[in-house]
Amino acid sequence: MKNYETPVEMLFEKAEDCGTTTIELMKLKAIDKSADIVSSFAVKIVLFITILLIIVIFNVGVALWIGDLLGKSYYGFFIVAACYALLSVLLRSYLNQWVKIPISNFIITQMLKQSTS
């Protein structure tokens, strides 16, 4: 038995295939971009945690050293805490400029980046 399709039926079938393929391609591109952004953030988070541990250990050493110079170890911790309080006020003043805008730019750059393959 032969299957005789009209040109209109063939056109609709090809349009359906094209639409399905286009949707699948868009899904795969979205998955690729999402994976790229998440992996980039994962690397940055690991680096951030490593740097944070180094800073904490360094601060404990500085606080103990300052406390040793002043005669009581807790004096050093108070001085280091006061420095961080001052730094937090400064950071709060420039938070949008130093943190929010660079992160937004990073996400936009990653989303718009063309894949090399």
Residues 88-112 as b/e (b if ≥16 CB within 10 A, e otherwise) read eeeeeeeeeeeeeeeeeeeeeebee
Rounded to whole angstroms, what are the CA distances from 14 to 6, 9, 100, 101, 111? 12, 9, 46, 45, 31
Question: Can you give the pLDDT at residue 4?
Answer: 64
Q: Where are the beta strands (DSSP E) in 1-117?
A: none
Q: What is the pLDDT of residues 10-56, one digit of tens each?
A: 888 888 889 899 999 999 888 888 888 888 888 889 999 999 999 99
Dihedral sign computed on CA atoms, order 65, 70, 75, 81: negative
Q: Which two tokens stand for residue 96?
A: 């949008």
pTM, whole model, 2 decimals? 0.56
Q: What is the pLDDT of residues 86-115, one digit of tens each?
A: 998 988 888 777 778 888 888 888 777 765
Q: Are 98 and 81 in contact (CB under 8 A)?
A: no
Q: Are 73 and 64 in contact (CB under 8 A)?
A: yes
C-alpha gyration radius of the chain: 29
